[in-house]
Structure 1
Amino acid sequence: MHFGTGAALAAAAGTLAAAVVTVLLVSSARARVGAARQAHLMLAIGSALAALTTAVALVGVLTFAESWSHHQPARTTFAIGIGIGTAISAGVLCTGLLRLPWAAGTRRIAGRHLLDALVIAFAIWFVGWVLISPPASIFGAQTPRPCVGLFVASGAAALAVGIVVIVTMRGAGSRLRLLFMGCGAVSVAACGVGLTAGLCQGGPGLATLSGVVMPIALMVVAFAGRGVDTEAIAELDVIRRGTSYAFVPMFAMAFAGMLHVMAGGQITAMGIALGSLEGFALVARQFVALRDVRNYAIRLEEREAHFKELAHTDPLTGLANRRGLLRALAEEVEPGKPCVLLGLDLDGFKNVNDMRGHDVGDDVLVEVGQRLRMNLRPGDVAARLGGDEFAVLMWARPHEAQGAAERLLGVLNKPYEQTSGRVFLSVSIGVAGADTASDDATLLQHADLALRYAKQRGKNRVERYHASYDHLLRRRTTVEHELGGAIERGELHLAFQPVVIMPSVRPVGAEALLRWHHPELGTVRPDEFIPIAEEGGMIAKLGAWVLHQACHQLSRWLADGHDVWVSVNVSPRELHAPEYVDQVADALRAHRVPPQRLVLEVTEQAVAIDLDELIKRLRALRAIGVRIALDDFGTGYSSLGQLRRLPIDILKIDHSLVAESEPGDDHGFAPLVILAGGLDPTGRGKAAARPQGGPLVDIVVRLGHRLGLEVIAEGVTNPREQAAVIEAGCRFGQGQLFGWGVPAEHLEAMLDAATSPGARPDQKIKTDKARVTNERIPDRPACGELAPPAQREAATPAAQDVGSVDSSREIRQS
C-alpha cells in the first residue's frame, strides 16, 4: 500500500500542477499573435499531453502496486503506451520551442535546427546503446532489458537534448529563457523515460519519482514562457555557421563504437540502425547546407548585378550616369558602326534652383529624363552626366543625329509644369560623331566642346563639332586664367568714345569703354572676355576698376575746365548687388566728381531680369545725383509700361533703329501704342506695325521727349543717318561718324579744340543745365534737371580701386 498510496498522491498532485501549467501557457498564448501564439499553444498542448501521460502512468503504478512482479506482460504493454505518450508530448514541446520567434524565427531556420538536433540525438542514442549493451552494461544487473516503450522514450529524450543544445547555442533571444525552457523540455522527456523504465522493470519507486518531478519540469517551462518575446532571429549566415554540431557527435559515436568492439562487443541491428540514421541525418544536413550555399551564391550574384546597375545608373532620373555611358561606349560601339554623341545642357537651370528651390529643380530634371526616354529610338542611350548636363548616345549618322537633336531641342524647350507654376528653360546641344574621335574619352570631349560652343553662340541651339573648337577652347581657358590678374599687371585701359551735340558735332560727353591688351594674346575683344568675367564672377572687380578709372579721368577733365560728362556701363549682376549704390557714392566722393557728371548706362537685359529690384536700385542711384541712361533701346526687352516706371534720364537709341532712318520720309507723329508691347530688333512692335512713310527713329525720339527723357542716337555711321536723327529732333549722337573709342588724351585734345577761341559760342553747351524743349511727363526731370544728392546716414568705407564692365553693346553682342 505504500507504493500505491504514494502513486495516487503523486498522480493527483501531478495532474493538478500540469493543469495549472497548461492554463498558464494557454493564457500566455492568447496574449500573443502570429507565430508566437502558435508556439505557446504547442507548449500548452505538449504540457497537457505530458500531464495526461504522467497521470496514466501513475494510475498504472497504483494498479500494479499490490502484485508488481505478477503483471510483467501488462506492465510492458503499459510501458509501451507511456513511452509513446512521452515521445509525443516531448515532441510537441520541442516543436513549440522551435516555433518561438526569438528562438528560431522562420520555418527554414527551425528545419535546420531540427536536422542539427537529429545529428546530436542519434549520436546520444548510439552512445547510450553502447553503454547499456554488453560488455559495458554500466548498470550491471539493473540494466534494463530491451523494451519498445523505453526505446521510444529514450529516443525522444535524446532528440529533446539535441534540440535544446542547438536552440540555446544559436538562439537570438534571451539565452537564459531558452535554457530554462529547454531544461524543462529535457526534464519532461527524462521523466517520461523514468516512467517507462519504472513500469517496464525498474519498479514503482522510479515511476513514482518521475511522476513527481514531471510537474516541476512543466512549471519551469511555464515560467520561462511567460516572458516578453523579442524580435525574430535573422537568416543564419551560411559562411559563419559553426560545425561543432556535426564533428563532436560523430567523434563521440566513433569513439564509443571503437571501445565497444575492442571490448568484445558486437554491432547488432540496433547499432547499425542508429549509425545509419546518423549518416542519413548528416547527408540531409549536408544537402541543406549545399542548397544554402547555392542560394547564397545566387543572391550574391543578384546583389552584385543590382549594385553594378546602381553604379551605372543615375538615382534621380533613372538614366545612365557617366559610368553607364562609358560602359555603353566600350561595349556597344563597333568599328564602322555609325555612332553620334549628343551633349545637352539646360540653359538657366541654376536660376530654377535659386528661385524655386532644389526640390523643383529635381522635379524638372526628372521630367527631362522622361522626355528623353520617350523621344529616343530603341537602343539609344540617354545619360545624366551630372547637374543639368545630359548626353545621348545614338546609333545614327551625323546628319540623322542633327535632325534628332533639333527635335530634342523642341521637346526640351516646352514648359515644365510644376506645382509652384510653370518653369521655362531652353537647352543647348552639341553633336559629335565617332568618326572625329580616336577613343571614347575624345568623343566625350568633342561633344562637350560642341556644347560649350553652342552656349557661347547664344544658347538654345544645336552645334556640330569642328576641329577649330579645340583652339577656341584653349584660348578661352587662357583668357579666363589671364583675366584674373589683368588689373594687377596693368594690361587694362579705358578708351572714351565721344558723345556730340548736333548739328555742331561738338563733344559734350564720353562713354568709357574697357580695353585689354595682353602681351601674348594681343588685343582681346570685350565680347570675348566680358562673358567670361560674368560667368567666372570677376565682373564686379572689373566694374569697380572701370568706375574708379572713369571718375578719376572725369575729375581731371573737370579740373581743366572742360564741361563734359562720362558714362559707364553697368552689368546686370553689378546693378542687382545691394552694395553697388555705396560703391558709386564712394567713387564720386573719392575723386570729387559732381554726381550729375556721371551717367550709368543700363542695358535692356537688366530690365528683363527683375524689374522691381532694378527700379529700387536705380532710384537709390538717382537719389545721390547720378543720371541713368537706358542703353540699346529697341533690342526687344523694354515696353512702354516699363519706360514709364523706370527712373531714367537718358534714352540711347540702338543702332538697329538708327540704321533704318532715311531723311525725307513722312515725319508725322506716330501713335505711341506701337511701343506698348516693346520693340524688337526689326523695329516692329507687338501691338502695331511701323507707320507708313515715317522712320522709326522719329517715333522713338518723340516718345522719349514726351516721357521727359534726353535722347542719344547710337551707332551713327554716315551723314545720311546723322541727317535723319537730326530731323527727328535728336540733339545728341554717338557713333563711328563722330569718332571711335580713343585714349583719354585724344579726347582731351578734341575737347580743347571744341572750346578754343575760334569755336563759335553757339557750339558750347552746358550738359548739366540742358533743357528739353519738348513736352515732358510731369515730375520726370530731363538730363540736366536732377534731384540733389541724397544724404546717407553713415559714412561708407573708403573706395577701393577694383573693376567695371565694357560697353553695353559689346555685352549684348557677346
Structure 2
Amino acid sequence: MHLPPGVWIAALAAALSAVPASVMLVSSARRRAGRRRHAHHLLAAGSALIALTAVAGLGVALTAHSQTAARLIALGMVAGAVTLLAGMLMLPGAADTGATALQHLLDGLAIAGSIWFLGWVLVTAPTRLLGPLTPEECWLLLLPLGVAGLAFGLTTMVSVRMPRPRGGSAGVGAGITAAALAGAGISGGVCQQWSGVVLASALLLPAGLTVIAVAARATDREPEPAEVDTTRRGAAVVFLPMVVLTGATAYQTLRTGAIGTAGALAGCLVLVALVGRQYLALRDVRRGARRLREREAHFRGLAHTDPLTGLANRRGMLRVLTQEAFNGEPCVLLGIDMDGFKSVNDLRGHDVGDRVLMEVGGRLRMHLRPGDAVARLGGDEFAVLMWATEDEAEAAALRLLDALGAPYEQGGGVVFLSASIGMATAETAAGDVETLMRNADLALRYAKLRGKSRVERYRPAYDRTLRRRTTLEHELRGAIERDELRVVFQPVVALPSARPVGAETLLRWTHPELGPVGPDEFIPAAEESELIAKLGRWVLDQACRRLAEWLRDGHDVWISVNVSPRELHAPDYVGQVAEALRTHRVPPQRLVLEVTEHAVATDRDELCRRLRALRDTGVRIALDDFGAGYSSLARLRDLPVDILKIDRKLVVASEPLVDVVVRLGHRLGLEVLAEGISAPAHLAVVTASGCRFGQGFLFGGGVPAEHLAAQLRSPRVPAAISAGQFDADGAAG
C-alpha cells in the first residue's frame, strides 16, 4: 500500500523548506568564536543532516519499499538529533565542563527511558492504546522516539539549571525536541503508510529547525556564566523518571503478570542513568565540600592574618593568647609601637609607610626565637608573645630596640624611627587575655611617656600614672579658654658679656585643681591628642606680640619659639607664621623657630623642604638639642638652619666636643648657642671654645615678659659670674 503522490509531494516540499534553516545556522557559525562557534557548527550540521535525511528518505519512499525508506529516515533522524543535542550542550551556559554535560545526559536518559517505557506499555499488549493502528512491524521508529525523549529530558534539565536569562538555550532544546518528534513521525508514517502523520511531521520539521536557528542566534545576547551549578536547581526532576517507571511497571505487572524484556531494559537504563547521575552529584558535593573547607581555611587565615605584613593580626594574637598563654609555662607579652611613624605617612606618603611597616614585620621575624608569636595589632603597633622569663624577655626586647631603630632605606631617602616596648607577664593578668593585653599596653604607654625608645615592665602603679595622663588630655582642651596657660621667657645672652640679646619662649600650665603641670607632662599629652597645633598657634601669637612690644621699646632682641614635628607637617604652618608676623608687624629675622635634632632625623628630606619654605619667609631656623645622638656632623652642611644649639649634656660632659662643634658651626657659617649653662665651670668651657651665645640657669630661668623687659632695660651680670675669676684652664678661681 502506498500513499497518494500528492501527499508525498507535499511532504517533500515541506522537508525541502527545512534547508534554509540549516543554511542560516551555517552562515551564523562563521561570525562566532570559541564555544559559540563550535556550538553553531554542530547545530548547523545536525539541522542539515535531518533536512537532507527527510528529503532523501521521502524521495526513496517514492521509488522503493516504504520499510527501507522508513529505516533510512529513522537512522538519519537519530544521527541528526544526536548532533543537535551535542551542539545544544556546547552553548555557553548549558554545560561548562564535560562532567556537567554528562550529568545532563544521564538525567535526560533517565527521563527518556521512563517516557519510552511508558509509551511501550501503552502501545503494546494488553493495553494497545492505538488499537488496530498499532505499528506491529515498524519498531525502528522507537529509536527516533527515544531520541525525542532524550531531547525533551536534556532540554528540561538545561532549562531548569541554567542561570537566567536562558530563553535562547531553552528554545534550541524545544526546537530539537520538535525536530526529533518530526523525524519519528515521518519514519513511522512512511512505515505505516499514514499520510496524515507524514504530512504533519513534514510540516513540523522545518518549524522545529527554524526555531533552532532563531533561538541559537538569541543565545548571543545571553551572558556567559562562569560555572553551571548542577546541584542548585532541578534536584526534584530526577524523581519524575522513577515515578513514571514505577507506575508503568506496576501497571504492566498487574495486567500481564510479568515485567517483560522491554520493561527490564528500560528499568536498567533508568537505573544506570540515575546511579551514574547520583555518583556525579555526590562527586560534585564532595568537591564543593572540599572547596568550602579550603575557602573556610583561607578566610579563617585572612581573618587572623594582617594582609600588609603577613603577620598575625589582633584576632590571631588573641587566639594564640587564649589557647597558649595560660598553660603554666612562663611567657611575656611585648607591646611595640614605632615612634614617629605618623610623620612618615604625613611627609612621605602611605606607600612609603606601608613599605616601612613591611620591613618592621620582617625584622621582627628575623629576631625572634622559634615558637614566639608576632602580630601586627593595627597601624604601627605590634605585639610579640615570648616563651621566656621576664629577664630573658627584657634582654630580647632590648635587641629588638636596636633592630627596629636601624635606618630604613626607602626610595627617595632614609627613614629613621625608634621603637617603644612595654612588657607584661601572664602572672599579672590572672588568666584573662584582655587584662594581659591591657597591661602590656599600659607598659608601652608608660615607655612613651618616659621618653620613648625604651623598654618598660608593667607595674600596677602605671594605672594611676595613665589615669592622670587621661585627665591632663581632657583638661588641656579648654586650658586656653580658661586662661590657665602662660608664656615665660628664658634669656639668651651674648658671651662673655652675659648681655641679654634674645629669649626662648616657654609654655607653662597651672591647673586650679592639679596645680602646676610640667611641660614634660602636658606637651606629650598635647601631641598625642592632636592639641599641639592649637597650643603652637597660641604660643606663636603670644611670642610675636611680646617681641613687637620690646622692639617698639627700642630693645635689640630676637625671640625663639619651639616647633613640634606635627606642626611642621601641617600644610598651612608656613602661612600661620607669615600671618603672625604680619599681624604684629615683626621683622621676620627677629623670629627664630627651633626644631629638635630628633625631629630632623625622623624624616630628613621632607622636613628640610618644610624648613626651607619657612626660611623663605625670612625667619631663622635653630637646630635644638644638637649632640643628643641623632645627627651626623658630616650631614650638618645640608640642613637649612641658621643657629646650632648645643645640647646641655654635651656642655656638661665633654669640653673637647664643645670646642669641635663650635668650630664646625662657625666654619659652616652658623651661629652657635650653648644650652644648659648652669655653673661657672660650664661658662668657662663654652667661653674658651669661642661660643658667642649662651643660655641656662646661670643667666636666669623662664620669667614673665615684664621681668625680662626689666632685664633688657638694665642688664645685670649674674653675681656668680661677676664674682668669679677664671684661670687659664677655665676653672673657677
TM-based fold match above 0.5: yes
What is the deviation of 1:325?
Answer: 1.1
Show the counterpart of 2:728. Answer: none
Q: TM-score, normalised by structure 1?
A: 0.72
Show the counterpart of 2:697. Answer: 736
3-state SS in 2 of match to 1:578? helix
Show the counterpart of 1:343. Answer: 335
Does 2:128 match 1:111?
Answer: no
Write out per-residue CA displacement over residues 111-141 of structure 1, whole angstroms, 9 at most, x where no aligned residue: 2322332333233223323432455433332
Check 1:7–1:539 CA distance in 2 against 1; reply closer, same or farther (3 A cut).
closer
Check 1:206–1:615 CA distance in 2 against 1; reply closer, same or farther (3 A cut).
closer
2:148–2:181 contact (8 Å) kept in structure 1: yes
User: Within 5 Å, which residues of 2 pair with 1:433-582?
Assistant: 433-438=425-430, 439-497=432-490, 512-546=505-539, 567-573=559-565, 577-582=573-578
What is the deviation of 1:328?
Answer: 1.5
What is the deviation of 1:387?
Answer: 1.6
Q: Give the distance between the partners of 2:359 and 2:466, measured in 1 at CA.
A: 31
Show the counterpart of 2:296. Answer: 304
Q: Which moved more, 1:125-134 or 1:562-571?
A: 562-571
Q: Which runs of 5+ in 1 are unaligned?
A: 69-74, 661-681, 691-695, 764-814
Amino acid at match of 2:440: A
1:24–1:222 contact (8 Å) kept in structure 2: yes
Amino acid at match of 2:299: F
What is the deviation of 1:322?
Answer: 0.8
Show the counterpart of 2:118. Answer: 127
What is the deviation of 1:421?
Answer: 4.6
Write out per-residue CA displacement over residues 66-115 of structure 1, whole angstroms, 9 at most, x where no aligned residue: xx8xxxxxx3x775565444333323322322232243333333223223
Q: Give the distance between the partners of 2:591 and 2:207, measured in 1 at CA.
A: 105
2:71–2:140 contact (8 Å) kept in structure 1: yes
Q: Which moved more, 1:185-194 or 1:200-209?
A: 200-209
Check 1:118–1:332 CA distance in 2 against 1; reply closer, same or farther (3 A cut).
same
Amino acid at match of 1:475: R
Check 1:116–1:350 CA distance in 2 against 1; reply closer, same or farther (3 A cut).
same
Q: Give the distance between the partners of 1:145 and 1:555, measured in 2 at CA.
A: 124
Show the counterpart of 1:401. Answer: 393
Q: Give the distance between the partners of 2:689 and 2:43, measured in 1 at CA.
A: 108
Q: Give the distance between the partners of 1:706 and 1:297, measured in 2 at CA.
A: 73
Write out per-residue CA displacement over residues 497-550 of structure 1, whole angstroms, 9 at most, x where no aligned residue: 556788887878765543323344333222222233244333344345445656
Check 1:251–1:598 CA distance in 2 against 1; reply closer, same or farther (3 A cut).
same
Q: Which moved more, 1:743-752 or 1:451-460?
A: 743-752
Using the aligned pairs only, state the percent identity: 51
1:94–1:185 contact (8 Å) kept in structure 2: yes
Q: Which moved more, 1:320-329 or 1:88-97?
A: 88-97
1:502–1:726 contact (8 Å) kept in structure 2: yes
1:409–1:460 contact (8 Å) kept in structure 2: yes
Which structure's CA Rg is the greater one? 1
Does 2:386 match 1:389?
Answer: no
**Pick aligned residue for 2:360 from 336, 353, 368:** 368
3-state SS in 2 of match to 1:487? coil
Amino acid at match of 2:442: L
Show the counterpart of 2:581. Answer: 585
Check 1:732–1:437 CA distance in 2 against 1; reply closer, same or farther (3 A cut).
same
Q: Which moved more, 1:314-323 or 1:102-111?
A: 102-111
Q: Give the distance between the partners of 2:713 and 2:478, measured in 1 at CA.
A: 35
Amino acid at match of 1:164: T
Show the counterpart of 2:36. Answer: 36
Q: Which moved more, 1:13-22 or 1:30-39?
A: 13-22
Show the counterpart of 1:617. Answer: 614
1:102–1:173 contact (8 Å) kept in structure 2: no
**Pick aligned residue for 1:332 from 289, 303, 324:** 324
Report the number of matched residues. Answer: 706
Q: Give the distance between the partners of 1:614 and 1:422, measured in 2 at CA.
A: 18
Q: Give the distance between the partners of 1:202 and 1:645, measured in 2 at CA.
A: 109
Q: Give the distance between the partners of 1:315 and 1:51, measured in 2 at CA.
A: 62
Does 2:233 match 1:241?
Answer: yes
2:39–2:91 contact (8 Å) kept in structure 1: yes
Amino acid at match of 1:308: R
**Pick aligned residue for 2:175 from 174, 184, 188:** 184
Q: Give the distance between the partners of 1:727 and 1:421, measured in 2 at CA.
A: 38
3-state SS in 2 of match to 1:346? strand
What is the deviation of 1:323?
Answer: 0.8
Amino acid at match of 2:188: A
User: Within 5 Å, which residues of 2 pair with 1:222-237?
Assistant: 222-226=213-217, 229=220, 230-237=222-229
1:93–1:185 contact (8 Å) kept in structure 2: yes
Check 1:551–1:353 CA distance in 2 against 1; reply closer, same or farther (3 A cut).
closer
Q: Which moved more, 1:312-321 or 1:399-408?
A: 399-408
CA RMSD of aligned residues (A): 4.7
Amino acid at match of 1:46: G
2:592–2:622 contact (8 Å) kept in structure 1: yes
Q: Which moved more, 1:372-381 or 1:8-17?
A: 8-17
Q: Which runs of 5+ in 2 are unaligned?
A: 723-733
User: Within 5 Å, which residues of 2 pair with 1:73-88?
Assistant: 75=67, 79=70, 82-88=73-79
Amino acid at match of 1:473: L
1:4–1:63 contact (8 Å) kept in structure 2: no
Check 1:258–1:578 CA distance in 2 against 1; reply closer, same or farther (3 A cut).
same
Show the counterpart of 1:790. Answer: none
Amino acid at match of 2:524: P
Q: TM-score, normalised by structure 2?
A: 0.79
1:353–1:361 contact (8 Å) kept in structure 2: yes
What is the deviation of 1:238?
Answer: 5.7
Q: Give the distance between the partners of 1:120 and 1:658, measured in 2 at CA.
A: 99
Check 1:378–1:199 CA distance in 2 against 1; reply closer, same or farther (3 A cut).
farther
Show the counterpart of 1:160. Answer: 151
1:7–1:58 contact (8 Å) kept in structure 2: no
What is the deviation of 1:356?
Answer: 2.7
Show the counterpart of 1:62. Answer: 62
User: Within 5 Å, which residues of 2 pair with 1:408-423?
Assistant: 408-423=400-415
